[in-house]
Structure 1
Amino acid sequence: MATPFIRYCLVIFSLAFITACGDPLVAKIENQISFVDIQLKNLAQRLDSGQVRNANLIKQYAKQVKEIKPEHQALADELARDATTSGPLYTSLLDRFDSAKRADLFPSNQVRFDELNNLYQAASNELFNDALSDPLNVLADLSGGELPRVSSISRAASIQANDAADFGAGSQLIGNPSYGQWSTASNGMSFWEWYGMYSLFSNLTNWGSNRLYYNDWSGRRNYSYYHDYGRSRYTSPKQLSKQTQIETKAKNFGGSKFKSAYAKSRTGATGVSRSSHTAKNASKSFQSSYAKKSTSTASSKKSSGFGNSSFRSGSSGFSRSGFGGK
């Protein structure tokens, strides 16, 4: 006759078996958690050992900016952190990974699985190297043209090609949740607010002490890697949901004059990896589905936690994991 302890173990095993059988994604999620953990550790090792090209260039550019433009020393030091595991780009991946380990933070296993796929891809050497082109080119702009941009045409050429406004040095980082956030003013409109030391960019912008509102930025933004290639991989579900809400709110304020930040891709990239082109296709797919998305209250509540997960799906051209599983 089975003891109470054995009976208890059998019940637990049976429940786990039923759960796994009920949703085949459960086992895949556990595997993908292991894959992402390995990928993040491998990326950390590459950053620490100098095997990420743009990270090395960031260190070099930061050192030269401090010599060329001593007044930008604090900003150069802050941007140099992106070449390390303590930088906002890498630590944001760690924060998202911690959240992805918790099933209770996701509305479905599919959304959670998609997030883990995106994290795996974002932590790849190719995509992470490309993503570093934004802070790297900010340093190039801070040098006053002494240092060339990397994987991007010049600032002046990019502004002309995209009929964009010149929002000053650091404009590639506006809208990127690793460096700041869209806050709400007393008039209900969204304005850009930098995190910490990045607030020094406010002294270099062309809008001076005034706030940069989303409505002004969205239709006149210039090229950046994050917005035109990387948003599909370097945005958490929660951040994506907030971006969707801000865009919808800005449209309500702007009416027929409003121009979406993502109605069209900006040009300006040179030499990005094939993986980034695949990520860009995923971004286009999201933008298309977003344009058709209902703005009703019911839809807003339904997507309030995570937004449109099709944008984040691994079916965009990447394999489900780096280990071939689908």
Structure 2
Amino acid sequence: MAGMQPLKSMILLLMLLLSACGDPIKEQITQQIPLTEQRIELLAQSLADGQVRNANLISQYGERLLQSKPSYKPLIDEFLKDTGTKGPMFVALVERLNTVKNQPQMFESSQAIYDELLNLYQAADPVLYSDALSDPLNVLADMSDGSLPRVNAMSKAQSMAANKAQDFGTGEQLIGNPSYGSWTSGSNGMSFWAWYGMYSMMGDVFGSRRTSYNDWGRGRNYSYYNDYGRKRYSSPDQLRKQNDLDTRTKKSFQSRGQKYTSAYSKNRTGASSISSQSKSAQTSANRFASKTTNKSAYAKSSKSGKNASFRNSKSTTSRSFRRGK
């Protein structure tokens, strides 16, 4: 019995040491929060200093359209918010960070919190953010009836032909983007896109038809958000709702013996001269999605990549805009 005492002491000591180590993911969260906060603050400063290329172009396009199409002013003014910190995309980043800090119980695990912080960190990269702004920028281009060129994207006709896509009207680049609207279900169970606030003018002014998810999911055209930015510029809850809707739609088609191709099953053709950061971020997101059983390894590799990306956080794209080919 006396020989058991040292063993018990060793076991007790080991248990104390293990408990002192704590949750390594929670420690990473504590370290990552100020880094993500700083990155978002740097993005705000970059916007204020005119260092985000596509934000500058939104300002230029907006001013041109205000002169040529003054009746569109309420809608143009909404898009001009994307040049600063009052735009819906920037506001969404801040709100998501506040959810992490103030409502951590909204996440299913510590790993999910850490993943969200890494996504926010990348989303606030001024270069990625500039690429993401190509969607509202190109809506302004389409509103100009061809007098202003699309940026970082093919012409509408070319991308529609390449993707065999349907035409969902002016503003279609923003359909599916939770910063500008949401999918709402009707009494018949079908889901339709509903614009937020002034963005509904796109349907009123341009006569765009009401967009059902059944049609859009199968026939959507290219957009930066849906083809490159969805994992970075959506909250976990928004992604879950998108995936749930897509799954329900697929089951509905299957129950009728019809084929359905997911809205997100493949990237649409249409990007032109987007940054290398967007391409690498997409590769990282796809790798993460395919390795859900190895989340800890992903977090470690993402953190090392994040540190390298942070050193380049003030870089901006230098390419001049070109007309969509």
TM-score by length of 2: 0.82
In the alignment, is the contact (CA less than 8 A) between 1:54 and 1:132 conserved in 2? yes
1:213 shift after superposition: 1.1
Report the CA distance between 1:212 and its aligned residue.
1.4
Provide the C-alpha distance between the structure 1 equivalents of 2:161 and 2:20, rounded to a whole number of angstroms: 55
**What per-residue deviation string (whole Å, max 9, x for no partner) do you get for residues 267-311 of structure 1?**
111111111001222444467689xxxxxxxxxxxxxxxxx996x
The one-letter code sitting in structure 2 at the alignment partner of 1:112 is I
Unaligned runs of 5+ in 2: 1-16, 311-325
Q: Distance in 1 between matches of 2:289 and 2:168?
A: 24
Equivalent residue for 2:24? Answer: 24
Give the aligned partner of residue 296 of structure 1: none
CA–CA distance in structure 2, aligned partners of residues 221 and 316 of structure 1: 33
Task: Kindly provide the amino acid, as one letter, of the partner of residue 280 in structure 2.
Answer: T
Question: In structure 2, what is the equivalent of residue 322 of structure 1?
Answer: 307
Deviation at 1:20, TM superposition (A): 6.4
Matched residue, 1:74: 74
**Paired residues of 1:122 and 1:234 also in contact (CA < 8 A):** yes
Q: Which runs of 5+ in 1 are unaligned?
A: 1-16, 291-307
Matches within 5 A, 1:243-282: 243-255=242-254, 256-282=258-284
C-alpha distance in 1 between matches for 2:291 and 2:206:
33
Residue 78 and residue 119 in structure 1: after superposition, are their counterparts in 2 closer, same or farther (change >3 A)?
same
Which residue of 1 is the match for residue 148 of structure 2?
147
> Cα deviation per residue 1:123-164 (whole Å; 9 max; x = unaligned)?
011110110100001100000110001111111111111111
Contact 2:118 2:302 in 1 (8 A): no
Q: Report what 2:189 is aligned to.
A: 188
Q: Which has the bigger relative contact order, CA under 8 A and spacing at least 6?
A: 2
Corresponding residue for residue 120 of structure 1: 121
Structure 1 Cα separation of the partners of residues 301 and 181 of structure 2: 28
Structure 2: how far apart are the matches of 1:287 and 1:250? 21
**1:127-142 aligned within 5 A:** 127-142=128-143
Q: Which residue of structure 2 lines up, in the alignment, with residue 242 of structure 1?
A: 241
Distance 2:287 2:221 in 1: 21
Q: 2:95 matched to 1:95?
A: yes
Mean CA deviation greater in 68-77 or 49-58: 68-77
**Are residues 83 and 25 of structure 1, via their aligned partners in 2, closer, same or farther at CA, if it must alter by over 3 Å?**
same
Q: Read off the aligned partner of 2:173 and give its amino acid letter.
A: Q
Relative distance call for 1:22 and 1:88 in structure 2 (3 A) is same
The answer on whether the counterparts of 1:185 and 1:191 sit within 8 Å (CA) in structure 2 is: yes
May I ask how many residue pairs the two structures share in their alignment? Answer: 289
Distance 1:289 1:185 in 2: 36
Identity across the alignment (%) = 49
Counterparts of 1:33-44 in structure 2 under 5 Å? 33-44=33-44
The CA deviation string for residues 236-265 of structure 1, in whole angstroms up to 9 with x for no partner, is: 000001001110111122223322101221
Shift of 1:184: 0.8
RMSD: 2.5
Q: What's the counterpart of residue 322 of structure 2?
A: none
Which residue of structure 2 lines up, in the alignment, with residue 11 of structure 1? none
